[in-house]
Amino acid sequence: MYTRALYSFLLSQINTNLVVILINRPELGIGTVLTPTEIDARLNITMAEAALWEISGYSRFIVTTPIITIPTRTAPTASLVATATFTPSGGPIGPFTHALVVRGANLTGASPANGNNRGSNVGTVVHIETVVSAPLSVAPPAVYNCTINLLLNEQT
């Protein structure tokens, strides 16, 4: 069994320079059941690829205050929950198919004016979430909100 200290350490490592980005890549699977090819594509995605597939018209969302839950005897799963909000700038966002959580992203000089370093290939993709109704487009004044829930559970 992992200790609470280990869960806390692992989640704190994931939480370093954490951003959520939007990409348009239907080949990663947009249905509820993924094919083996789609699963392999998700498992092998690199930031260089993600940066190429990143859409325009928005800023990367920098996660500053995720909710981290450490397991207890009655709730043995640790989690990191982050809600990301994307506001269109200069036109609609999209189409996009997936939201990616990136750890270790380049935040040097990040600002909404530069899209929070959109296009940078620095970091590691740690989670891929298919958006609802993919491919999706969002036009102003609407915004796109997504909640990412990273679970950490010991396998026996």
**pLDDT at residue 144 tops 60:** yes
Mean pLDDT on 30-41: 90
Q: How confident is the model at residue 28 (pLDDT cuts 50, 70, 90)?
A: very high
Q: How confident is the model at residue 156 (pLDDT cuts 50, 70, 90)?
A: low
How crowded is the C-beta side of 71, counted as CA atoms within 13 Å?
20
Q: Report the C-alpha gap between 86 and 33 in whole angstroms.
A: 27
pLDDT tens for each residue of 106-115: 888 888 778 8
E-assigned strands of the chain?
19-23, 61-62, 67-69, 78-86, 93-96, 98-103, 124-130, 136-138, 144-152
Q: How confident is the model at residue 1 (pLDDT cuts 50, 70, 90)?
A: low
Both tokens of 31, joined, read 């249905």
* pLDDT given at position 21: 93
Mean pLDDT on 22-45: 91
Q: Which of 100, 106, 148 is nearest to 125 (CA)?
A: 100
* pLDDT given at position 155: 61
Q: Report the C-alpha gap between 117 and 58 in whole angstroms.
A: 11
pTM to 2 decimals? 0.85
* pLDDT given at position 48: 93
Q: Report the C-alpha gap between 82 and 102 in whole angstroms.
A: 12
Mean pLDDT on 85-102: 89
pLDDT tens for each residue of 37-85: 999 999 999 999 999 999 987 888 998 888 888 888 777 788 889 889 9
Q: DSSP letter string over 85-112?
A: EE---SS-EEEE-EEEEEES---TT--G
Reported as type and span, the H/E element at residue 47 is helix 47-53
Name the percent of the chain lying above pLDDT 90.
31
Judged on CB neighbours under 10 Å (0-12, 13-18, 19+), 55 is buried
Name the percent of the chain lying above pLDDT 70.
97
